[in-house]
Copies of this chain bind each other. A is one copy, B any other.
Amino acid sequence: MSSPPNDPAGPIADSEHNVPRLPTGIPGVDALAFGGLPKGRATLICGTSASGKTVFSVQFLACGIAEHKEPGVFVAFEETPQDIRENMAGFDWPIPEWEEQGVWRFVDAGLRPDEEEHLVAGDFNLEGLRTRIKHAVESTGAKRVALDSLAAIFTRFPDAGVVRRELARMTAGLKELGVTAVLTTELLNSEEDTTRFEVEEYVADAVVMLRNHPSVARRRRTLEVLKLRGGRHKTGEHAFSITGEGIHAIPVGSLALTQPSTDRR
């Protein structure tokens, strides 16, 4: 791979000193993250509405199943599992089939009435949800987990302090399970770095930003690895598109063909 002359990170090398990576299989993303998302950790996927957060989450699991035989768990908040199945029918990922094979499991995290009460009473936390995720992971042997989108519950919390605590607890809980996870959350304005509660990006170990910039005649999609604790990654915004095959990012300064793990198109 040709790296820009003044790139402090130098050429890609699967350094033993870097935090271990899990190749996502999403075209272009592993090159941007120098090998993949941090293995055994949770990565935050921040994006404005329609920026591709859900497609990213699903594709993350789909690649795990299709390319690495790694079962996955999808935790659905506002969109129900059935919504996800329908919305993803336009891509080449046979989710219902995978569900039958036991390699894809949905956890329906829509609020139940008793949870609603706890929220109103102010003593709500995500403990119950963590238990259900644990169970789903253990019963499927899942290696990958996607949560889409925690923001649906965060909006109900009283302040950013509670969001910060619950997000930290959730990512810690996922780490204990040993899975590699993506969590989606919301970015209010694609022209600024600000997440909805202005704390999410500080808590997470790794952060990917999806943006959908207004532009003269059409929107322009970009993907950026903003943070990756413990490892190298490319910086800055890189164009991507969503087609019938899912997300495809084109890292600037990379030759896609030279990157085996992302070369599946």
Q: Does A132 contact B (CB under 8 A)?
A: no
Interface size on A, residues (CB 8 A): 74
In the complex, residue of chain B having the shortest beta-carbon distance to the beta carbon of A236 = B218
Residues of B within 8 A of A218 (CB): 4, 234-236
Complex Cα spacing A237 to B226, Å: 21
Q: Does A30 contact B (CB under 8 A)?
A: no
Contact A230 B90 (CB under 8 A): yes
Contact with B along A228-265 (1 / 0, CB 8 A): 11111011110001111000100011000000000000
Contact B241 A201 (CB under 8 A): no
Contact A49 B207 (CB under 8 A): yes
Q: Does A190 contact B (CB under 8 A)?
A: yes
Q: Which of B17, B50, B86, B190 contacts A90 (CB 8 A)?
A: B17
In the complex, residue of chain B having the shortest beta-carbon distance to the beta carbon of A175 = B83
Q: Does A177 contact B (CB under 8 A)?
A: no
A185 → chain B closest CB, angstroms: 10
Contact A193 B189 (CB under 8 A): yes
Main secondary structure of the interface of A (DSSP, over half): loop
A44 → chain B closest CB, angstroms: 10
Q: Does A152 contact B (CB under 8 A)?
A: yes
Residues of B within 8 A of A155 (CB): 160-161, 164, 199
Complex Cα spacing A151 to B168, Å: 13
Residues of B within 8 A of A15 (CB): 90, 244
Q: Does A70 contact B (CB under 8 A)?
A: no
Given A49-B202, A86-B230, A160-B155, decide whether A215 and B193 contact each other with a Cβ distance below 8 A. no
Given A8-B243, A168-B78, A189-B193, decide whether A252 and B217 contact each other with a Cβ distance below 8 A. yes
Complex Cα spacing A154 to B231, Å: 27
Q: Which of B78, B216, B226 contacts A50 (CB 8 A)?
A: B226
Residues of B within 8 A of A243 (CB): 8-10
Contact with B along A76-91 (1 / 0, CB 8 A): 0011100100111111
Q: Does A22 contact B (CB under 8 A)?
A: no
20 inter-chain pairs at a CB distance below 8 angstroms, sorted by A residue, are A9-B243, A18-B89, A18-B90, A19-B86, A78-B202, A83-B205, A83-B229, A87-B229, A90-B230, A149-B202, A155-B160, A155-B199, A156-B164, A186-B202, A190-B193, A214-B237, A215-B236, A217-B236, A217-B253, A218-B235
